[in-house]
């Protein structure tokens, strides 16, 4: 997993670097919606170079859920739709701010 590091003046790491180091990152909207619908905690979204990245907290089920997504494991239609709508709201809210490195923490 490659996560771009932000640096503060004096070469110190961004305070969230350690937090994000333990997250799974994807820019795939539908995988992100699947994970969110399955209950994986969305930690943050960031925009980098025109792409939005979703950072999910790692847990013991994450890898199995990713494999499940790739192999058509069912997900509740209403949960999946709600997750897509939530994630699109994040995408459009970061788009209005424009610029590299804009980020939004989730609740």
Q: What is the pLDDT along the chain (107 residues), one digit of tens a residue?
A: 333 333 333 444 555 666 777 899 999 999 999 999 999 999 998 888 889 999 999 999 999 999 999 999 999 999 999 999 999 998 888 666 555 444 555 55
Domain count, the chain: 1
With respect to residue 21, please indicate whether it lies within any of the assigned structural domains.
Answer: yes
With respect to residue 41, please indicate whether it lies within any of the assigned structural domains.
Answer: yes
pLDDT at 91: 87
With respect to residue 85, please indicate whether it lies within any of the assigned structural domains.
Answer: yes
Task: Considering only the C-alpha atoms of the chain, give the largest distance between any 2 of them, rounded to a whole number of Å.
Answer: 49
Q: Determine contact, residues 35/65, Cβ cutoff 8 Å.
A: yes
With respect to residue 7, please indicate whether it lies within any of the assigned structural domains.
Answer: no
Q: Measured in whole angstroms, how far is the alpha carbon of residue 17 from the centre of its chain?
A: 14
With respect to residue 8, please indicate whether it lies within any of the assigned structural domains.
Answer: no
Quote the pTM value. 0.73
pLDDT at 65: 97
32-35's contacts with Cβ under 8 Å and 24+ in sequence apart are: 32/56, 32/83, 32/87, 33/80, 33/83, 33/84, 33/87, 34/65, 34/69, 34/75, 34/80, 34/83, 35/62, 35/65, 35/66, 35/69
Distance (Å) of CA 18 to CA 22, 46, 50, 64, 103: 7, 16, 24, 24, 16
Interatomic CA distance for residues 26 and 45, integer angstroms: 10
pLDDT at 27: 96
pLDDT at 21: 79
With respect to residue 54, please indicate whether it lies within any of the assigned structural domains.
Answer: yes
Domain range holding 31?
Answer: 14-100
With respect to residue 9, please indicate whether it lies within any of the assigned structural domains.
Answer: no
Tell me the residue length of the chain. Answer: 107
pLDDT at 25: 95
């Amino acid at each position: 997993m490659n996560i771009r590091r932000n640096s503060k003046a004096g070469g110190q790491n961004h305070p969230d670097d350690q937090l994000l180091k333990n997250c799974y990152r994807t820019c795939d909207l539908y995988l992100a919606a699947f994970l969110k619908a399955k209950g994986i905690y969305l930690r943050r979204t960031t925009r980098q170079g025109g792409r939005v990245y979703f950072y999910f907290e790692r847990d013991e089920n994450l890898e199995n859920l990713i494999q499940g997504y790739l192999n058509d494991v069912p997900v509740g239609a209403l949960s999946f739709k709600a997750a897509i709508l939530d994630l699109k709201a994040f995408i459009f809210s970061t788009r209005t701010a424009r610029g590299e490195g804009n980020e939004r923490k989730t609740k």
